[in-house]
Amino acid sequence: MKRLLNLGLLLIIVLTFFSCKNQTGSDVTIGFLIHSTTSSRWQMDISYVEERAAEVGATIILKDAGGDENMQLAQANELLEMGVDALIVVAANQNTAAGIVREAHDYNVPVIAYDRLIKNSDLDYLVSFEYERVGELMVEYVADNVENGNCVILWGDASDANAVFVKKGHENAMNLLKKNNIKTVYKTFIEDWTYENAYHQMNTILDFYPEKIDAVIACNDPLGIGASDALREHGYKPGEVIITGQDATLEFVHSMLDGGITMSVGKPIKELAYGAIDLVVKIVKEEETSSFDKTVNNGRKDVPAKLFSPYIIDETNFEKILIEGDVFTRDQVFIDN
């Protein structure tokens, strides 16, 4: 009887240990912390991440911080307590997310920064895009399409490393604008990268700046659409101003077909999502992770990085890349037909 009791006790201890280690019973359990899910760019990431995880038999536990960096830290703690094997993080704030890395390492859990770098931390990996190149492509496009005139620059949120990289890309290519005699009349970061903030900011610029605007270098699609709507309200005609964007969302395509944003810098989001999941599975299974051919300095260390290349999408190639490339269906794109 005593032996039976001891065996029972042992069983309970073993079961408790395993349920603490990993509550999902899957081979690999990944905590996916995302800063916010409101924009359609991130909806694409989530569906690709979930799709790839299902294919390779990994479990994803998704937490949306709703734009709140403190909430994201609390969510990280919750996932670590649950016993996840790794954290993939889209940082709500490039600086404070260092706390997530510290916390995870206390649990011996690796952290992969997804799309957005986490600064000043012992971050394990970065899977992202060449964001300086994103900025260069925007400026090159404007220089190729505007002979001379006035330009407004709307950067993303200053607490996001990507906004800073894109800005650096603009600076790298600025001489192209100067060559064309394009004057930058106003430049500013836009909080939270939102349509509303860009729309409001652009309206204010147009109310106070008397001369004609010929180009807006907006750093993502919501900012470009916000700028485009403000320009329309100030009497500009469809297609009159060259406007950039980023992410090649469905909203971008609709805006472009309506004479709003002229181009968007597209990025292979599916490759990013699949790459992140494949990496995590390799790390957890302690296999070779050879695809990390670059490093990005985060202020504390050179973080091993995989960076995918961006490309321009405009009216000349959107059907080929976005429809033939199976990102959107023809019906989603041409809603009026």
Residues that bind ligand BGC (CB under 6 A): 39, 41, 115-116, 156, 160, 162, 193, 220, 246-247
Q: Are 110 and 124 in contact (CB under 8 A)?
A: yes
Closest CB 151 distance from ligand BGC, rounded Å: 20
Q: Which is nearer to ligand BGC, 85 or 115 (CB)?
A: 115
Structure-block tokens of residue 298: 């985060």
Least CB distance to ligand BGC at residue 258 (A):
20
Instruction: Say how many Å lie between the first and final Cα of the chain, rounded.
Output: 77
Rounded to whole angstroms, the Cα distance separating 9 from 159 reads 51
Nearer to ligand BGC, 31 or 156 (CB): 156
Which residue has the closest beta carbon to ligand BGC?
A: 220
Using the structure block, give the residue that is written with the tokens 């906004």.
Answer: 163
Considering the complex, state which of residue 115 and residue 136 has its C-beta at the smaller distance from ligand BGC.
Answer: 115
Question: What is the smallest separation between the CB atom of 336 and ligand BGC, expressed in angstroms?
Answer: 26
Least distance from ligand BGC to the Cβ atom of residue 118, Å: 12
Choice between 115 and 132, CB closer to ligand BGC = 115
CB 266 within 8 A of CB 313: yes
Min. distance of Cβ 158 from ligand BGC in angstroms? 12
Kind plus residue range of the DSSP H or E element containing 114 = strand 111-114
Pairing of strands 149-155, 125-129: unpaired
CB crowding 293-326: b at 16 or more within 10 Å, else e = eeebebeeeebbbbbeebebbbeeebeeebbeee
201 versus 220: smaller Cβ distance to ligand BGC:
220
CB 7 to ligand BGC: min, Å? 53
CB nearer ligand BGC, residue 83 or residue 224: 224
